[in-house]
A and B are shown apart, each in its own frame.
Chain A
Amino acid sequence: MTSGDVQKSPRFVYLQVAPLVLVLFFFFAIPVALVILVSFFHYQMLVGMVPQFTSKNYVDLLSSPTTWALYLSTVKFTVIVLIITFVLGFWIAYFLVFHVRNLLTAIGLFLVCTVPFWTSNIIRMISWRPVLGKEGLINSGLIKVGIVSHPLDWLLFSDFSVVVAYVHLFTLFMIVPIFNSMARIDKSLLEAATDAGATRWGVVWNVVLPLSKTGIALGALFVVTLTMGDFFVVTVISGGLSGSATSGIFNDLQFLNYPRAAANAVILLVVVLLVAAAIFRLVDVRKELVR
């Protein structure tokens, strides 16, 4: 038997996938199953969860206007952040791939994009405060120059500041996959398009954009999951004035209300899975990746 035969034998294939299956089973399937199980438990004040079947948690959550308001706010942030990070990510990647001729320079610039990630994301986020605050850099600058007489309140602890922080934190997650997709585009395709009479915009719209859609889909997936699952950024940067789907979970945990927190987590999971399914529906990432 040659080594090629061994590698093709079904037993060997099972062995090859076994580590991944085991990891997914123990660290993904079991925990999620537990969360789903707990989400149907009863909650008793001062005690915590009582293993008794109830669908009350879901009924309560889905019929509460608070849940809807929190999800609405989370979805709003997600959409805004997705659009801004896409526009930024696409053009930064485009610049790096097609405008910087020297590969070394391109890689160097790409690394520069990652510099902020050398510090913790808490620091990156908190550092917006002295910039956007009432006595912050922007406000004191504007007042000194005489553009405004009172500091602008809406710069910090507002939806605006939350979006700024998200964009700052998550744009790289858009740049990387798009950069990756664009780098695989054969440059001669662009030349052919130009030779065939396409305008610059035509090239971007008809050649680059369709060929980068895998990267866009992956980037969008990152940004959506990060934003929807976020609790910390929105709490800190909005000064606690905006909530997110996750902040409800956090509050429930304060008094051991695991069942309702679990139900909330399951709802969030379903929502994120639906969004992911929609993205994959638009782009067949698997097919594109093996291209």
Chain B
Amino acid sequence: MNKDSASLAGRRISRRSVLKSSATIAASTAVTGFPTVWAQNLKDVTLNHTGMSYSTLADIAKQATKDLGFKVDMSVVDHPGLTNRMVNDPKSIDIADMEIWQSKIMIPQGVTQAVEIAKIKNWGDLTPLYTEGVFAGKEVSRQGDSPIKFMYRDAKDGKSFVKGPTAWASFVPGVYNADTLGIRPDLVGRPITTWADLIAPEFKGKAAIQNIPAIGIMDAIMAMEAAGVVKYADKGNPTKDELDKTISKLIELKKGGHFRALWNTFDESVNLMAAGEVVIQSMWSPAVTAVKTQGVKCVYQPLKEGYRGWGNGLGLMAHLDGLKLAAAYEYVNWYNSGWVGGFVAKQGYYSANPKTAKAALTENERGYFYEGKPATADITSPTGEKTDSAGAVRDGGSYEERFSKVGVWNNLMDQAEFMIAQWNAFSAA
């Protein structure tokens, strides 16, 4: 309810400002033949940034509004919500903070326009994880929807992805991370080293998996492969047969009471863990931080099979033009200029521009979040609560270490329709 009315209000404002701004452009072009008054009128613009709860943060909008001089609104939706809104109500969004696999739906449909790389000031500083598909000198895993596969388009309105650098990007690289399992070290009773532990019989009734089919299935696949239950030719694009086997095993586990819960939202995963209902489960990094701020021990456990990587991209919606497009470029440039990078680092995410993000952190924070060094003083969450004490080392080590070990990327598989139907069977079982 609230979400809807908020976004409605946002839409109304932005429509009004579009009208206003296009009128000024018309006027200014008529007089001088050249839209030089843009800079002065930029302050009338309102940009709507829509995305998922983990990256679409009100604090970012507040800071952007302060730094840029025009208004940035945030509107939070879940993954299906974003997919649906981008397709059915594209004009209600200006900047779409989508996960990379979502661009697979959007770009062929022409929902977003390509980003002119020449207008992105610090493109060269952005992580090669996105722009070149390499990280720390090594090729990044291509299993699943690896960012590089979707990074480039051939023209502003190009509807397909192209290989290798062009002048047009599909999106501006956003936040990203490498996900793993969260555990309660005080309650698991032994070291956890592999994804297979998610389905280990000893955690019967104490494990949980996320009920977001596109991501939950990846956690399941990692666990099944590690346990040797199912073999996959390509974990990032399983066949019907492989999915069938995976879901059958999931159903068997569920019927046997293995899963305490299937969680749907971020806060559910926090509560499950903090209340001790669950000792090992799928988790997102900020959820681990949230459990820790409650004073409960929680580790985002690195596992030998590697991480499940994911990344976001800021897409420019197709309807943006003129003044609003200029504002959008200002915003995406600002987004990777440091403040956001520093902010999201404290909830465990990484900025596409590590250079500016690191500069926005204190030496202690830089060491802890990026360099794998022990903290020299207390580490706090973005909102200021203590999450770790001096001397602690971040789970998974340094930025380099973490991203060298991505095993598979979040994805929209070819068999997604089949997968969803199977996942429904799992939900119903």
Of B225-233, B269-277, B355-363, which binds chain A? B269-277
A135 touches B263 (CB 8 A): no
Contact of B83 among A69, A70, A153, A255 (CB under 8 A): A255
Interface range for A: 35 or more
A135 touches B275 (CB 8 A): yes
In the bound complex, how far is the Cα of B271 from the Cα of A65, in angstroms?
Answer: 33
In the bound complex, how far is the Cα of B263 from the Cα of A236, in angstroms?
Answer: 8
- Chain B nearest CB from A119 CB (Å) reads 15
- Chain A nearest CB from B426 CB (Å) reads 9
Q: Which residues of B contact A188 (CB under 8 A)?
A: none
Tell me, yes or no, whether A66 is within 8 Å of chain B by CB.
Answer: yes
Interface range for B: 35 or more
Q: Which residues 55-79 in A have Cβ within 8 Å of B in the complex?
A: 64-66, 69-70, 73
Q: Which residues of A contact B421 (CB under 8 A)?
A: 64, 66
Q: Which residues of A contact B80 (CB under 8 A)?
A: 250, 253-255
B261 touches A45 (CB 8 A): no
Q: Which residues of B contact A255 (CB under 8 A)?
A: 80, 83, 105, 412, 416-417, 420
B260 touches A157 (CB 8 A): yes
- Chain A nearest CB from B196 CB (Å) reads 22
A66-B425, A248-B424, A257-B417 are contacts. A241–B259 as well, Cβ < 8 Å?
yes
Tell me, yes or no, whether B166 is within 8 Å of chain A by CB.
Answer: no
A251 touches B420 (CB 8 A): yes
Per-residue 0/1 for B403-429: is the Cβ within 8 Å of any A Cβ (1 yes, 0 no)? 000000000101011001101110111
Q: Which residues 236-261 in A have Cβ within 8 Å of B in the complex?
A: 236, 239-241, 243, 247-248, 250-257
In the bound complex, how far is the Cα of B79 from the Cα of A59, in angstroms?
Answer: 28
Q: Which residues 64-109 in A have Cβ within 8 Å of B in the complex?
A: 64-66, 69-70, 73
- Chain A nearest CB from B218 CB (Å) reads 14
In the bound complex, how far is the Cα of B412 from the Cα of A255, in angstroms?
Answer: 9
The chain A residue with its CB closest to the CB of B208 is A239
Per-residue 0/1 for B120-150: is the Cβ within 8 Å of any A Cβ (1 yes, 0 no)? 0000000000000000000000000000000
In the bound complex, how far is the Cα of B417 from the Cα of A139, in angstroms?
Answer: 41
B427 touches A253 (CB 8 A): no
In the bound complex, how far is the Cα of B264 from the Cα of A43, in angstroms?
Answer: 25
B262 touches A241 (CB 8 A): yes
In the bound complex, how far is the Cα of B421 from the Cα of A70, in angstroms?
Answer: 12
Tell me, yes or no, whether A229 is within 8 Å of chain B by CB.
Answer: no
Tell me, yes or no, whether B382 is within 8 Å of chain A by CB.
Answer: no
A254 touches B277 (CB 8 A): no
Tell me, yes or no, whether A124 is within 8 Å of chain B by CB.
Answer: no
Tell me, yes or no, whether A46 is within 8 Å of chain B by CB.
Answer: yes
In the bound complex, how far is the Cα of B410 from the Cα of A198, in angstroms?
Answer: 71
In the bound complex, how far is the Cα of B136 from the Cα of A167, in angstroms?
Answer: 57
Tell me, yes or no, whether B156 is within 8 Å of chain A by CB.
Answer: no
Q: Could you list some 13 contacts between A and B, CB below 8 A?
A: A47-B109, A129-B271, A157-B261, A157-B277, A239-B208, A239-B263, A241-B259, A247-B427, A248-B428, A254-B213, A254-B214, A255-B416, A256-B87
Q: What 9 pairs across the A-B complex have the smallest Cβ distances?
A: A239-B261, A240-B262, A254-B80, A243-B427, A240-B211, A69-B428, A243-B428, A66-B425, A70-B428
